[in-house]
Structures are given as C-alpha cells and as structure tokens.
Structure 1
Amino acid sequence: MTKVNLDRRRLMQACGAIGSVSMLGLSLNAQAAKLAATKAPSLSLNDYENWDMSAMAGMLRAGEVSPLELTDAAINRFEQNTDLNVVAVNHFDMARESAKSLSKLSTAQRAEQMQNRPLLGVPFALKDLGVGLANTITTNGCQFFKDNLVEENSTLVNRYQAAGLNIMAKLTSPEFGQTPTGESTLHGDTLNPWDKRYSSGGSSAGSAAAVAARILPAAHGSDGGGSIRIPASHCGLFGLKPSRGRVASGPASLEGSMGLSVHHALSRSVRDSALLLQLTQGAELGSRVSLANADMLAALKAKPKRLKVALMESHPFGYPVHQDCKDALNKTVALLTSLGHIVEKAQPVLPLEQMFKGMGVATSSSLLNAVQARELTLGRAARENEFEELVWGHLQKAKEFSAQQMLSARKAFDQGGQAFDRFFQDYDVILSPVTTAPPPKIGALTLNQPYDAFVKEVLKASPIAALYNMTGLPAMSVPLHWNESGLPIGVQFAGAYGAEAGLIALASQLEQAAPWADKKPNLS
C-alpha cells in the first residue's frame, strides 16, 4: 500500500486550530475542564452525544477522555440504535483494538502524536460506497458486491488515517447510490432518527442517521447528485459538497461518474466539516483537475462581506415546491437580510434537458463499468437477481450508450458550468431548496418499483442539488428549519468554483445567528 504523504503544514495548521484558545468563540480547553470537573469514573453517554469532533480532539489532547472511552461510547450508541439500521459492515473489533493501543499512551505521548495527527482516536465511519479500506469489504449496497474485498486504501482513507481517525464501520447506502434514500435489498431500510416512518435521505443514508442520532460526531459521505446534501437536509445536519477536484477520489478512479461524484462528510457543526476538509483537500498522483489548498479553518472566523444572494426558489422543471420548503427559504431570507446581506430572485439560464440526459448517461455508464470490473474479478457474469429492479434496468440501458452520447454529456455539463460562472460574476451565492419536498416515507424511493412511479418521487428530491454535481460547483445544506411535524428541512447555498471557504464563512455566521447544535431527535 502506497503511503500518502500529507501536507505537513496543513496538518500543523489544523492542530493549531484545535488547540487554540478560541474557535468560534468556544474554548475547547474550557469545555474539557468543565466536563472533567464532574470527576466521573467513566464517560457518560449523555456527555458524549454533546461533543463534536473538534471538542473530542481537544479533550483527547488534554487527557480528559481516552480513545477507548470514545470508541466504547460510540459502540454503545450503535448498539442502542440498531433499529435505525445504519451499519453495513462492522469494524468495531478492529476499532476497539486500535483504541486500546492508543489508550496505553500517556497524555504527553498522545499530545505529542497529535501534533501531526490532530484527530488521533476520534471515532469515525465510512460510507459503504465507492471508498476502500484495505482488507475489508465494501458492498456498494449491492448483492453482487456483498463479499467485495478491497485490497488497498482509497487516497481519502489514507488521509483520514493520517489525521488519526479511528474507522469503526461502513455505513449504509442504497445500491450504488442510485436513489436519494437508504433502502436496499442487501441491507434493509435506514430510518430517519427524527421520525422512523421516514427516510433519512441518501445516498449517504447511514452516515446521516448515525450523526443525527449522536452515534458519531461526523461521518464520511459522497455526493453524485445530492447524496451528502439531501440526507443532511432530512436529518438536520450540515452537509458540504466540495468542488470537483477539491478532495481526492482515487486511486482506482480519479473522477467518480465522470466528475459528478465527490467525497466529503456530514457533521453536526460547521467547524468539523471545515477541519475535515482542511485535512483531506489536495491533489493526488495523477490529478489533473485540482484546486490550490484553501484555509478552511480561517474561514470559520472570517466574517462574510455583505453578500449578494440569488434566490432560486423554483423547481428546474416547474414542478411544485412544498410549503415546508418555501417556509424554510422565507425564514432563511429573513435571517440573511437581518445579517445585512442582499437577496434577489434570480437564476441562470441552463441547458437543462441536455444536462439531465447527460447525467443519466454518465451515472449509468459508471455503474456498468464497476459491474464489468467485478465480473472480471469473479470470472462470471452478473445475474439479474443480484440487483435492484431499477439498477438492473440502468445496466441494460448503459450497454446501448455510444461514445458520442458521453461526449455530449460532457459538453452539456461544461455549458452548464459556463452559465453558472457567468452568473457568479453578478452574485456571490445562490440560495435554493435542497429538495422540493420534506423527507419521504420509507418505500417512496425504493429501487424495486416501476420506473414511472420512481421518477415521480425522485423529481422532488434531487434535480436542484444535481445541478452542482454536473457543473462541479460547491454547495451545502444548512439546517435552519424544522417543519410542524418536527422534521428537518435544510436550505442549500451554492458558490462559485473553488469557493468552499466562502461557503464555510457564511455557514459559520448562520450557525452563530441561528444555532442548531442543541436540536436532537427523540430516540426513546
């Protein structure tokens, strides 16, 4: 396995931010001291669920908690919430052994190691799709891949491990992320912690449910059409989709689904998302689409200038927008105005039909490529009964696509990107719904239903979010509204290419103005 050499300066900068006197006005050392003053003999689950990754790292550095205490607390919460069905592949024993070893270090020894590994001992998990942890299984939510043993780490996993994260599990995803929910024949249904009758969103379903349920402070996710932002919206979390090229996707494939799919995380706090992005951004061997590293941590404390915000409140194809989503937008517009920003109704003119046709070509072709590689490994053909009904249909359709259709898809994405780039010459960010309806009931977005019925439901979920996958732009879901039924309704902000730091600065300002950290689902 090739060891990825992380940028030492980036790691040191992150370490300094964690250990600093203040981040967002909160002293981690003060938090740790206050919690330690209880002199409890072991870690209380009630304490654990209130800490984000940054707080955990500060307490580990100060010796107020041990890696084993954090790992056991996470395992306990996984076991208490099995009904949510968030675990696809269990790595608890491996994580616990790692935590035991780290807990044998003295506080001084651990603090010294954390100079280079700022999240050493913090519990974490990967999405069970498109990412590899050496010598473990990644199922991609698919029966044909149920025993798919991965031989090497993904570049991103190398970076997570270099930062010190203790990877505990792979979390549920629908089959190849082909639907914005967490339902699969292989793993079952992942439920929304806010109301278990509803979907957690997807495809980073298990990650969203685990973080919302306070099982983990943050978790890995990927986004090829809204798959970080949609579950973040449905579960009351912060979810940032980075620009294409910001976070490494290799080494097996340097661009997921022809650039549509990118990796990052779901978190409860903005600072955790910024910290993870700080630690994992940057090109890898072979990268040709990449961005200069940005100071994501400095953005947390940078007050945004007076922003000119474009309000894009309609569905791309003119379908209705649910009143809950309108309420979330109206509430956000009022908040933005109170903070001094300017909001105007405006949207770019896009080649929508060509873009969405191209998205179908790109995602189905990527799926077919993965399945054919697996067929070569197994020495046999895939069988229809090893796939969800709609996924099998996508595979058969992909066999008919031509090289010309792939080139047309790329051209449509580029034209959409050009339109957005022109638009961002006049506006700083775009505000829109994440989805145009509240979280759907379990079953509404299953991949085992007639195609027309599925399309009717999926049109409420991903078309707005997908615009930023096709064009490679950064976008985030911010948890600023809950409807009368108590379900979260996120709002989406998108920015110009490479403008993650600006989005983080805005999200940090919104988090301080309208805090959401104390909002918790009732899991009793």
Structure 2
Amino acid sequence: MSSVTPDLLRLYSHSDALALADLVKKGEISPAELVDIAIAAIETLDPRLNAVVIRHFEMARAMAAEMKPDGPFAGVPFLLKNIGSHWKGTRLTGSIGFREDFVCDTDSEMARRMRAAGLIPLGRSNVPENGWCIATEPRLYGLTLNPWNEAVTPGGSSGGSAAAVAARMVPLAEASDGGGSIRVPASCCGLVGLKPSRGRITYGPPEADIWFGSVYFFAVTRTVRDSAAFLDATAGTLPGDPYIPPTPDTSWLAGLADRPRLLSIGYTLTPPWGPAFAPEVVAALKDTVALLEAFGHNLEEHAFTTDLEKAWIDYNQVNSVEIARDLDAQADWAGRALRQDDIVAFNWAQYQRGHSQSATTFSAAVDGIRRANRAIATELAPFDAFLTPTLTQLPRPVGYWDMNEPDFDAYIARWTDAAFMFAFNISGLPAISLPAAWTDDDVPVGVQLVGRYGDEATLLRLAAHIEEARPWIQRRPKHCVE
C-alpha cells in the first residue's frame, strides 16, 4: 500500500461507513482517495483471504471521479455479493462456471438505492456455488478464509462479504439471507448482520418473489449505526410487491438516539433439535442475558415448541423446486440444458429433487412452512424480542460443509448448527446477529436477537445499547488493514 499514506490508511481502517462519508462531505477526504485505499487494501490482503472474486476497480474509480458528496454513504467503497443485486455493468456469476460471462444489463431497485446513497462498488464477494451453504468454498473461485482464524469458515453464503468487512477492506458489503446467509457469516467474522422483515426491501424489478418471501437482501457491517443507515437507504417497496411491512415514523438511524423502553425478552438455552449448544455459545448467551437484565429488561427462558425440524425439511422441499426453476432459467441464458458436471454434487441432487416432486408434495411442503410461520409468530408473540444463538456450535473447520455430498437428505440433515436461522426466514420476523464473545483462539461467537414483524427499530435500539456497553468495532482480526 505504498501509494496510500499511513495516516489515511489508519483513518480508513478505524472508521465505519458513516464516519468515512462524513469526512467526504466535509471535504477532508475524497471519494477517489477512499476508492484507492480500498483497492490497495484488497490487493494487499485478498491474495490470502480470497474474499473479492470479481473486481470492477476501473468502474469504481470512474464513479468516484464524478461523485458529488450526496447521500448517507457518499463516496464509501463497498462490495456487491456474487449472489445479489443486479448493478448495471457488473458481472454476476453465483460461482457457477457457465455463468462466468454474465453481465447485468440493468439495475435492480436495491442497486439503484445503493447508488443513490453514494456507495461505490469495487466488485463482488465470494459465495458458495449457488449459495445454499453456510461456508464459502466454491469450485470456481476457491475457498475464502476467515481473517480471525484461518482454520475455521467465515460462514456463508455471504462469507466473502463478511471476510472483507472484518479485514477492513471495505466498511460494509452487500449480503443476502435465505437460511442464515447474512447472520451466519456475521457471527463467524465478528460483525453486525441484520436480516430485515419480510418485504422490507423489494425484489424488483428482476424478481417478483423469491422463496415465498423467505430471501432477504441487506448487508454486513461493523457497527449498528451503519446497519440502521443502510436500512434507511435501501428499504421500500415497489407497486405490486406481495409483502408490505409497517414503517416507523422516524428513520431507523435517528431512532438509535432513543433507548429502548423496558422490554420483555425471551431467550433459549435449548436447541430445537440436534446436539446441545457448544459451551462457548452457552457462555455468550448467558453473558448477554446478564447484560440485558442489567439494562433493566425482563428476561424469561423459553424452549421452542414449534417443530422446527419438520419445518426445515419442508423448507428444503420447497426450495429445491424454486432452485431447480432458477437453474433452468440460468441454463436457458447459457443456451443449453443443464449438465450434471456444471454444478457441484449437492446442487445437482437439489436440482433433481426439485424436478422429481409432484405438485401435491410441493403444495404440502408450502403448507407446512406456512403453518410453521404461524406457530413461530404465535409462540414469540408474548416477547418484545427473543434471544438465541446465531450458530448453536462454534464456526466449523474449513472443509466441514462439503457441497460434494450427493445425498440431498444427508446434506440438509447436518444443518443443526443453523437451527435458529431459517425459522426467521420463513416467519418473516426481523433478526440481527451481534458479536458477543471471542474464544481463546480468536474465533468470534455471535448471538441473535429476533423482533416482532416490522419492528427493526426496537432490535436496532437494543443492539446499539449492547454495542455501547461492550463495543467491538476496534477489535481487530489477524488479517486486517493496519
């Protein structure tokens, strides 16, 4: 990073996105300087971490040269996810080999809003092939390493985004979540990962709906206030959207100035199925419970009674059909039928499962997840917020989540670590993962707070209070911009 002064580098590394944008607005740093710092950081750190697999540096420099200091994130460099928003002129492959040459020819509404907020994309972050994995180890690009501890996964599917933000290459990065893919990598990399309420951010115009409203687009950040400001910048629906959540009277960022009222908060120390929580996870939960009690909130232990194991099986039945349809559409773009050697073994098994289901089997699975949706919402209705682990176990070693598994049922049966993830995809409730602890060998441990539908405001206020009491932003991983 010889072309970047140590003072600028230190300023960049120790600032969140809003702080950098404020410097741009004051004229103390330019968007071009920020982009050059971010590019230098990527070129220095990414050969080791492999988080940024598609680069659009010249496009970013051109945007920075023309940018006016407008928007909440004016001039701030960031990364798109490689399963994410359509941003005109950028490549988008989903880590699938036959899509290597796909270039977006238009902006999605999410991209338009990120552009209006002043964000400058440097490229796209690594993802597992087609996304259905909580590690990031695709055949096409190779594995992404966790900047805290290279022996464990950075999570997935937004693992590249999380690794890049944790290493300070960029202050925030796009992420998406169909079964934990924002929250899991946030937990594995010591970040803030908000999954908004169903319908909070439109799928349009490229898509009308994805997985019956169970997929969410957002970001991973280092601070709660960046997440709140990003929600302000990107939230909103388009005419005809199928899900319309309630909207608060004030902005989510402005709302952080207020402490949450005293809340009724539930928490669980019991897995809905699968093995007991890892001891380090239990300790992080109990420590968070103690902190929330010290704030004056009323805490009540509650073990889930909804049959989440059945709901997980139903969810994967539904998703296999949705993914098979999507893979066929991608193959149509390539101009040929999908072949078994085009995709990794599990993705082929998922594709086959999707095509083999009868209409009545699919309908029964849809009914199953809708019943689970109602049961989850009913069960949590007495609580203003609910605390769970993000992952029931510590981040797994690299290679543990092997997508070369050809048995569809065996692969999904291993996902008990993420038992508290998909439940809030199918129920539509907002959920946020926060850094809670680090192990002796520097592995982050996250906890998850779940809110009422449409009430991101309470979650963000509560998260900001936790962050203020136990700040994490200046804690730095092994691989990090100095």
Residues 424, 341 of structure 1: alpha-carbon distance in 2 compared, 3 angstrom cutoff:
same
Contact 1:43 1:73 in 2 (8 A): no
Is 1:258–1:362's contact at 8 Å kept on the other side of the alignment?
no
* Matched-pair contact (CA < 8 Å) for 2:434–2:463: yes
2:169 is matched with: 215
Any idea what SS the aligned residue of 2:351 has?
Answer: helix
What residue number does 1:64 align with? 28
**Please, which of 169, 184, 194 is the counterpart of residue 148 of structure 2?**
194
Which residue number corresponds to residue 31 of structure 1? Answer: none
Question: Following TM superposition, by how much is the alpha carbon of 1:486 offset from its aligned partner in structure 2, in angstroms?
Answer: 1.2
Deviations 1:470-498 (A, max 9, x none): 11111110102111221100001111111
Query: Aligned to 1:308, which of 253, 261, 264?
Result: 264
The aligned counterpart of 2:395 is 439
The residue type paired with residue 179 of structure 1 is C
Task: Report whether the alignment pairs 1:180 with 2:134.
Answer: yes
Mean CA deviation greater in 40-49 or 400-409: 40-49
Residue from 45, 59, 66 that aligns with 1:94: 59
Q: Who is 2:320 aligned against?
A: 364
Give the corresponding residue for 1:511: 467
Secondary structure (helix, strand or coil) at the match of 2:40 reads: helix
Q: CA deviation at 1:410?
A: 2.8
CA contact (8 A) 1:282 1:293 kept: no
Instruction: State the partner residue of 2:415.
Output: 458
Deviation at 1:237, TM superposition (A): 0.2
Q: Secondary structure at the match of 1:246?
A: coil
TM-aligned CA distance change 1:423 to 1:449, over 3 Å: closer
Quote the offset at 1:421 in angstroms. Answer: 2.8
Structure 1 counterpart of 2:241: 287
- Quote the Cα distance in structure 2 between the aligned partners of 1:148 and 1:514: 43
Deviates most, 361-370 or 350-359: 350-359
Alpha-carbon distance between aligned partners in 2 of 1:97 and 1:252, rounded to the nearest angstrom? 26
Residue in structure 1 matched with residue 49 of structure 2 by the alignment: 84
Matched position secondary structure for 2:300: strand
Where in structure 2 are the equivalents of 1:92-241 lying within 5 Å? 92-102=57-67, 110-111=68-69, 114=70, 117-241=71-195
Distance 1:214 1:377, change over 3 A: same
133-142 vs 63-72, which deviates more? 133-142
Deviation per CA, 1:446-487: give whole Å up to 9, x if none.
211354774564322x22111101111111101021112211
- The gaps in structure 1 that reach 5 residues or longer are 1-39, 103-109
Q: For the residues of structure 2 that align with 1:495 and 1:419, how far apart are their CA atoms?
A: 15
Which segments of structure 1 move beyond 6 Å, counting only runs of 4 or more?
none
1:51 counterpart (3, 12, 15): 15
CA distance in 1, matches of 2:411, 2:167: 28
1:405–1:496: structure 2 CA closer, same or farther, 3 Å change rule?
Answer: farther
Alignment partner, residue 17 of structure 1: none
- Residue-by-residue CA offset, 1:24-61 (whole Å, 9 max, x unaligned): xxxxxxxxxxxxxxxx9786212211111110111111
Candidates 217, 223, 228, aligned match of 1:274: 228
* Distance of 2:358 and 2:200 partners within structure 1: 30
Question: What corresponds to 1:26 in structure 2?
Answer: none
Q: CA deviation at 1:380?
A: 0.9
Structure 2 residue corresponding to 1:383, chosen from 333, 339, 363: 339
Q: What is the distance in 1 between the residues matched to 2:293 and 2:151?
A: 36
**Aligned equivalents of 1:475 and 1:292: distance in 2?**
16
Q: Deviations over 1:172-227 (max 9, x none)?
A: 11011111011100110000000112110010011100000011111110000000
How does 1:257-268 map onto structure 2 within 5 Å? 257-268=211-222
Q: Secondary structure at the match of 1:184?
A: coil
| 8 A Cα contact 2:127 2:159, kept in partner | yes
Contact residue 267 and residue 300 of structure 2 kept, 8 A: yes
| Structure 1 residues 478 and 41: CA distance shift in structure 2, 3 A | closer
Question: Distance in 2 between the 1:370 and 1:513 partners?
Answer: 44
Distance (Å, rounded) in 2 between the aligned partners of 1:305 and 1:41? 45
The answer to whether the 8 A contact 2:272-2:305 is kept is no
Q: Which residue of 2 aligns with 1:326?
A: 282
Tell me if the contact between 1:308 and 1:341 (Cα under 8 Å) persists in the aligned partners: yes
| 1:332-381 deviation per Cα after TM superposition (whole angstroms, max 9, x unaligned) | 11111111112111144314344222211222122111111122222211
TM-score (ref. length: structure 2):
0.94
Is the partner of 1:135 in helix, strand or coil?
Answer: coil
Answer whether contact 1:282 1:291 (CA < 8 A) is retained: no
DSSP-derived class of the 1:464 partner: coil
Which amino acid in 1 is paired with 2:224? V
What secondary structure does 2:150 align onto? strand
Q: Would you say the 8 A contact 2:13–2:168 is kept in 1?
A: yes
Structure 1 position 468 matched with structure 2 position 424: yes
**CA distance 1:450–1:314, shift in 2 (3 Å):** farther
Q: What is the number of residues matched between the two proteins?
A: 473
Any stretches of 5+ residues in structure 2 without a counterpart?
Answer: none
CA RMSD of aligned residues (A): 1.8
Write out per-residue CA displacement over residues 384-411 of structure 1, whole angstroms, 9 at most, x where no aligned residue: 1110111111101110122323332332
Larger mean Cα displacement after TM superposition, 388-397 or 254-263? 254-263
Is the 1:303–1:505 contact (alpha carbons within 8 Å) kept by the matching residues of 2? yes
Query: Which residue identity is paired with 2:362?
Result: M
